[in-house]
A and B are shown apart, each in its own frame.
Chain A
Amino acid sequence: MQRHSPARTLARLGATVSSLAITLFGLVLVTFFIGRVIPIDPVLTILGDHARPELVERMRIELGLDKPLPVQFWIYLTHLFRGDLGRSVMTSNLVVDDIKLYFPATVELGTTAMIFATLIGIPLGVLSAVRRNSRLDQFVRVFSIVGHSIPIPVLGLISLLVFYAWLGWAPGTGRVGVAYVGMTPTVTGFLTVDALIAGDADVFWDALSHLMLPAAVLAYFSMAYISRMTRAFMIDALAGEYVITARAKGLSPARVIWRHAFGNIAVRLATVLALTYAGLLEGAVVTEMIFSWPGIGQYLTVSLLNADMNAVIGATLLVGFVYMVLNLLADVAYRVLDPRV
């Protein structure tokens, strides 16, 4: 049965892309104007409070701040289209280059955390739902409530205390030991991957061991959420009549659970996973701070505290863009997995 004609698919794609563009434009607009109306003078942040007036005036013209706001916005937009997000005052690099430096660190951390969270969270949630009210279920529920209730700073600091200070199993903070900094050429920006490409086992193991603790902290938090949602969805699905049908057909329990019940929740779960992953890629600010992880969350926070508006707007746009793309992917997954849509 023909469910999607090519014309309809194309129209849908067009609608999605244009809504994406409009949202992104709104994001630029809001961030830009908030950046301009805050009572911090970017010129004075650069030059200091006691700069000479003519110097201040020259800087103001150089930064384009003498022009009316709409004109400034237009200039910003045209630059944006060329892929130019301006220069960061704080790092004096192009914001684009900064992002290329910081964002891969966040992606590396977030993706590792997400893989752990998914691989542990989903089976735990399914098992918990299948053996509802069993001891295992009670344990999983408590385990995930704890994971979702402990504030990340507490969890992060405790984990550092236990695994770094007491047990000495984990290395300290940062992405890699001081001795290995800058040892491998940057290809992907993911230190573990770059080390593998360079064939440098020492750097790889060191980077991996630095990655594990912050990833575990983030994974615990996300896993708690994923397993709770999986459990709730599965309990709902297992009560479905089609599950009785599947059992009456004489299918094995594994097939009933995974093919029939889980197959029906996969759609909803995809949305949960996409949003969780988006949350991780926004830059887990607190985790990055605690573990001195040079990611986008840390970059954004430090820029914000220094009123480095080009950096703030650039990083915000990136985060917003990532969020939208993941939402879009969840939407696509919905269409692929659910024949009713």
Chain B
Amino acid sequence: MLVEISGLNISFPTPHGMHAAVRDVSMTLGTEKLGIVGESGSGKSLTARALLRLLPPAAVTRADTLRFDGIDVLSASEKQMGMIRGRRAGLILQDPKYSLNPIMTAGDQIAEAWRNRRKGSRRQAKEAAIDLLAQVQIRDPRRVADSYPHELSGGMGQRVMIAMMLAPDPELLIADEPTSALDASVQAEILKLMEDLVSRRNMGLMLISHDLPLVGHFCDRVAVMYAGRVVEELAAGELGQARHPYTRALLDCMPSLTHPRPRLPVMARDPAWLT
């Protein structure tokens, strides 16, 4: 198993005591595509970042098991984490406008990731970066390599981000809302690209999203999170048979082309879901 999580709790100190943001979350991931869906604040991003130990310093993390390929993340040394981050696992964030360094060219940022894993000259790294840009289907990789992030569109920026995270040939890719900041047409392209790369390289993928149908289409399995818990986990094809009332309510809120309704229902939240 690439990822084993059980009994994960993440909490933050507040003036009124500790606030539990992730509560008793368990999941596993092999060489497959796992979708994590949930609304803002449901704890899906925190769960993913805890795996790379990239949480804010104030966060308090406890877990029965938190392993990446057998390595205990909570007790790993900073050096061991350095071997996981950027080498064996990559992280793609939501908006390339903020997640790329504004004062470095796209090529430099990719080359930096490449050189971190492989030893090579500056020129080799640059060539590798251009090659990676071509692999994420950028038509003019040389020009893009010399561009700064503000000169790129959102879709291009996200391709650069993917190229950068694929540079060291990782085994796991964590994509945290990778398409939420993009136009609908570009979203599809980026997802298609990630799907191709992940299956061709035989990687594991953790796709975090608030878009239930998208995750249903794209992933093998789906974990639904609500208020810091995984409320339901099921195969993507079985979303229609979801049992948890929250998942059902989410699916029920979606507009349908074939059975249009005059008015979409508003989800009625049951306090019992919280316990």
Contact stretch, chosen from B122-130, B145-153, B216-224, B263-271: B145-153
Contacts A1-B151, A244-B93 given; indicate if A337 touches B103 (C-beta within 8 A): yes
- Tell me whether A338 is interfacial, beta carbon within 8 Å: yes
0/1 per residue, A35-73, Cβ < 8 Å to B? 000000000000000000000000000000000000000
Contacts A249-B113, A251-B116 given; indicate if A339 touches B86 (C-beta within 8 A): no
Contact stretch, chosen from B2-10, B94-102, B253-261: B94-102
> Is there contact, CB below 8 Å, between A240 and B116?
no
> Is there contact, CB below 8 Å, between A248 and B82?
no
CB distance from A229 to the nearest CB of B (A): 19
* CB closest residue in chain B, given A252: B82
Give Cα A247–Cα B150 distance, bound, in whole angstroms. Answer: 21
- Tell me whether B87 is interfacial, beta carbon within 8 Å: yes
Give Cα A92–Cα B268 distance, bound, in whole angstroms. Answer: 90
> Is there contact, CB below 8 Å, between B85 and A250?
yes
- Tell me whether B112 is interfacial, beta carbon within 8 Å: yes
> Is there contact, CB below 8 Å, between A249 and B86?
yes
CB distance from A38 to the nearest CB of B (A): 50
* CB closest residue in chain A, given B58: A133
> Is there contact, CB below 8 Å, between B102 and A242?
yes
0/1 per residue, A310-341, Cβ < 8 Å to B? 00000000000000000000000000011110
> Is there contact, CB below 8 Å, between B102 and A245?
no
> Is there contact, CB below 8 Å, between A241 and B112?
no
CB distance from A253 to the nearest CB of B (A): 8
Point out the residue from B90, B100, B101, B148 that lies within 8 Å of A248, measured CB to CB: B90
Q: Which residues on B sit within 8 Å (CB–CB) of A241?
A: 93, 95, 98-99
CB distance from A248 to the nearest CB of B (A): 4
Q: Which residues on A sit within 8 Å (CB–CB) of B93?
A: 241, 244-245
- Tell me whether B52 is interfacial, beta carbon within 8 Å: yes
Give Cα A225–Cα B144 distance, bound, in whole angstroms. Answer: 40
0/1 per residue, B205-226, Cβ < 8 Å to A? 0000000000000000000000
0/1 per residue, A78-101, Cβ < 8 Å to B? 000000000000000000000000
> Is there contact, CB below 8 Å, between B101 and A263?
yes
> Is there contact, CB below 8 Å, between A249 and B54?
no
- Tell me whether A77 is interfacial, beta carbon within 8 Å: no
> Is there contact, CB below 8 Å, between A339 and B102?
yes
Q: Which residues on B sit within 8 Å (CB–CB) of A264?
A: 101-103
Give Cα A340–Cα B143 distance, bound, in whole angstroms. Answer: 17
- Tell me whether A148 is interfacial, beta carbon within 8 Å: no
> Is there contact, CB below 8 Å, between A338 and B103?
yes
- Tell me whether A286 is interfacial, beta carbon within 8 Å: no
Give Cα A132–Cα B52 distance, bound, in whole angstroms. Answer: 22
> Is there contact, CB below 8 Å, between A339 and B99?
no
Q: Which residues on B sit within 8 Å (CB–CB) of A249?
A: 85-86, 112-113, 116, 164-165
In B127-184, which residues have CB < 8 Å from any A CB?
143, 146-148, 150-151, 161, 164-165, 168
CB distance from A327 to the nearest CB of B (A): 22
- Tell me whether A246 is interfacial, beta carbon within 8 Å: yes
> Is there contact, CB below 8 Å, between A250 and B102?
no
> Is there contact, CB below 8 Å, between B148 and A242?
no
Give Cα A249–Cα B174 distance, bound, in whole angstroms. Answer: 12
Give Cα A244–Cα B164 distance, bound, in whole angstroms. Answer: 14
Point out the residue from A245, A250, A253 that lies within 8 Å of B116, measured CB to CB: A250
Point out the residue from A242, A252, A253 that lies within 8 Å of B101, measured CB to CB: A242
Q: Which residues on A sit within 8 Å (CB–CB) of B57?
A: 132
* CB closest residue in chain A, given B93: A241
Point out the residue from B85, B104, B146, B151 that lies within 8 Å of A247, measured CB to CB: B85
Point out the residue from B84, B90, B95, B147 that lies within 8 Å of A1, measured CB to CB: B147
Contacts A244-B99, A263-B103, A264-B101 given; indicate if A340 touches B150 (C-beta within 8 A): yes
Give Cα A241–Cα B56 distance, bound, in whole angstroms. Answer: 12
Point out the residue from A245, A247, A252 that lies within 8 Å of B100, measured CB to CB: A245
Give Cα A173–Cα B36 distance, bound, in whole angstroms. Answer: 71
CB distance from A203 to the nearest CB of B (A): 45
* CB closest residue in chain B, given A131: B57
- Tell me whether B91 is interfacial, beta carbon within 8 Å: yes
0/1 per residue, A222-266, Cβ < 8 Å to B? 000000000000000000111011111111110000001001100
> Is there contact, CB below 8 Å, between B151 and A246?
no
> Is there contact, CB below 8 Å, between A245 and B99?
yes
> Is there contact, CB below 8 Å, between A1 and B99?
no
Q: Which residues on B sit within 8 Å (CB–CB) of A246?
A: 101
Q: Which residues on A sit within 8 Å (CB–CB) of B83?
A: 250
Q: Which residues on A sit within 8 Å (CB–CB) of B52?
A: 248
19 additional A-B pairs beyond A244-B99, A251-B86, A263-B103, beta carbons within 8 Å, are A1-B151, A242-B98, A244-B49, A244-B91, A245-B100, A245-B164, A247-B54, A247-B85, A248-B54, A248-B85, A248-B86, A248-B90, A249-B113, A250-B82, A250-B83, A250-B85, A251-B116, A339-B103, A339-B105
29 A-B residue pairs with CB within 8 Å: A1-B143, A240-B98, A242-B101, A244-B49, A244-B93, A245-B99, A245-B101, A245-B161, A246-B101, A248-B52, A248-B85, A248-B90, A248-B91, A249-B112, A250-B82, A250-B83, A250-B84, A250-B85, A250-B87, A250-B113, A250-B117, A251-B86, A260-B101, A263-B101, A263-B103, A263-B104, A337-B103, A339-B150, A340-B150
Q: Which 6 A-B pairs have the closest CB atoms?
A: A250-B86, A248-B91, A249-B86, A241-B98, A250-B85, A339-B148
